[in-house]
Amino acid sequence: MYALRVLAVAAVVALLYGARDVLVPATFSLTLAILLVPVVERLRRWHLPAVVAAAVAVIGTLALLVGIGIALEPPLRRAAEAAPNGIAAARARLEQLRAPLERLGRKLESQPAPPPGGPQARLPAATGPAATGPSPRDSAIAGSAKADSTSGTRAAGPTNSIPAGMLSAARRAFGASAGLIGELVEVLLLTLFLLAPGSRWSEKLDTVVRSPDTRRTVRTAADEVRAVVTRYVVASLLINASQGVLIALATWALGLPAPLLWGVLTALLELIPYIGGFMMVAMLFVVGLATGGSLTHAFLPPLVYLVVTTLQNNLVSPAAYGRGLQLNPAVILLATMVGFALWGVAGALLAVPIVASLRVVASHVAALEPVAVFLEP
């Protein structure tokens, strides 16, 4: 029995990984459809057909995404142009910080150590022709002359061709952009098809499920899943937007470049539990190291970020999420790591809504009650 359970879990994991190209856009579409259901219902009250209401909601979502992309294009472009210089400055600053440690290490290594065998182990140094040879300085000079002659021979050819690295980078960027646009179109179209039937999904449920008790349980679980996912996404967007404003103001006060970009990155990366915060701390440290004149200035931006995040997690999030999102913190971290390993960034973004939905479903199914107990705090 235990072996069968292990095989079943392995089969589910293999299915999730192998079908990620289908499951990722489908999960995003289902989540987006859950969020747009109130909008579609409001439009239906204005006597719009279900198809028209769904189309208006999806087109409005697309317009919102395009507007956000247009607004973020200038700071993203400036950050991309300044990234090489910033990385070079941070690397130079790290070299300056590493130099004293290297001098200390060489000083410790230069101190003579006592021989392990006592005074009789000190043998006289070898002398004579057998001990003579080219000194390290002579070898270095000879190697340098050989390298100069080789480089001079290679430099004789033409060098006015386009670097292959630029072509490959442009090809990868174009391929990534085309793939992202294609996935966005897939998600929006599937969301439209999920929202267009309207109340017919409920009628189909009544046709498939004959038992009134089972039908009531399914409806209750579906309503709870929709409420939990909606509250989590809306609360996360509002909390992260507020935190992004605070981080933008803090980075502006500390003199970091592109404070608006740091606010947007905070709002986006905080959607990924734990991993997003770690990435923000690392990036703020590198930028502080590149722009600051001391090590204290490098540690100040990530320290401010950690203070704001800690206050938000302990004061704001519990009240905003309520008791609907009852998940063990260790389960959230594990789900985020597993989701990232299976589906990449998309899996890390969807990990919490999926686990929260699983907890709701497990709480209504007697056979899955141990799963619900495991997922709860």
Q: What is the pLDDT of residue 169?
A: 46
Q: Is the dihedral of CA 290, 292, 293, 294 positive or negative?
A: negative
Total Cβ atoms within 10 A of residue 311:
13
- Which residues are CB-contacts of 363 (< 8 A; sequence separation ≥ 6)? 369, 372
Q: How far is CA 295 from CA 24, 289, 299, 308, in A?
A: 42, 7, 6, 21
- Terminal CA-CA length for the chain: 28
Where are the extended beta strands (E) located within 31-121? none
- Which residues are CB-contacts of 243 (< 8 A; sequence separation ≥ 6)? 266, 267, 270, 308, 309, 312
Of the candidates 213, 350, 194, which has an alpha carbon nearest to the alpha carbon of residue 221? Answer: 213
- CA 122 to CA 129: how far, in whole Å? 21
Per-10-residue mean pLDDT for the chain, 377 residues long? 80 89 91 90 88 91 86 71 63 62 65 54 46 47 46 44 47 57 86 85 76 84 88 89 91 84 88 87 83 74 90 80 74 89 90 90 85 83
Q: What is the pLDDT of residue 246?
A: 92
- CA 192 to CA 56: how far, in whole Å? 9
